[in-house]
Amino acid sequence: MQPKPPKLAAVLQALKKHYGVPETLPTKDPFELILWENVAYLAPPARRRAAFALLHRQVGLSPDKILTASRAALERVTAHGILKARFANKLRECARIALEGFGADLGAVLREPLPQAKKALRRFPGIGEPGADKILLFAGVQNVLAPDSNALRVLMRLGIVAEDKSYARMYAASRNVGAKPALKIPVMQQAHLLLKLHGQTLCKRSAPLCGACPLAARRLCPIGINVISRKHM
């Protein structure tokens, strides 16, 4: 018989005790959140924050300032990740779409019904369904968890989301996590950040560090419990 999956609230309590309160994203503005997703491809969190701060300080975060910035200025920002030239172009494309498609005001997008808002956000480079859900979560519009691949792996290992060969089906299942009872948006924002951090640091795709895992220690993760039990046999 499969053990019952843990409650998300218990998971968050354990992760918060282990990692502390996560640092939230540096903005709630929808266009700036789109820039955040494109500013430093595959950069670790600290370098992404540094890239975003540099963009803010030396270029500006408005579409018109990004469009008029020099390529060198944009590439100094995107060099915090990989493919700096490609992502400098993506920043420009984000700015162009914002100006031509929305008059540089994405605030109106957030007032649309959620399907239309998500469709509008997905017009931008690098923004698929998870990215659109994440923007709506951190803009304070909806309380869908919107996990990235690291967080989704944690949810799957905990049994909260059923493992499936289809990533899309697993992501779709994650939309119900925290819905009953409905968790408030700030709690879901913390959940998103904590689960992502845990997947990046301990619950890695290969060679997860179960011996150091606070969820295994609290007997919330069946995989971690089994790993620790075998070590003590």
Neighbours of 111 (CB within 10 A): 9
Beta carbons of 110 and 139 less than 8 angstroms apart: yes
The whole-number pLDDT of residue 224 equals 67
- Structural domains in the chain, sorted by start: 8-22+146-231 (1.10.1670.10), 30-138 (1.10.340.30)
| pLDDT, tens digit (0-9, with 9 covering 90-100), for 88-132 | 999 999 999 999 999 888 888 888 999 999 999 999 999 999 999
Q: Which of these, 48, 4, 6, 42, lies nearest to 195 by C-alpha position?
A: 6
In Å, what is the CA distance from 94 to each residue of 16, 27, 31, 167? Answer: 34, 17, 8, 26
Helix (H/G/I), strand (E/B), else coil: 106: coil
Return the structure tokens found at 155: 């949810």
Q: How many residues does the chain have?
A: 233
The whole-number pLDDT of residue 229 equals 55
Assess whether the previous peptide bond of 222 is cis (omega < 30° from 0). no
Beta carbons of 23 and 15 less than 8 angstroms apart: no
The whole-number pLDDT of residue 227 equals 62
The whole-number pLDDT of residue 182 equals 76
Query: CA Rg, the chain, in Å?
Result: 19
The parts of the chain modelled with pLDDT lower than 70 are: 1-2, 180-181, 224-233
Q: For residue 177, how far is the Cα from the chain centroid?
A: 15
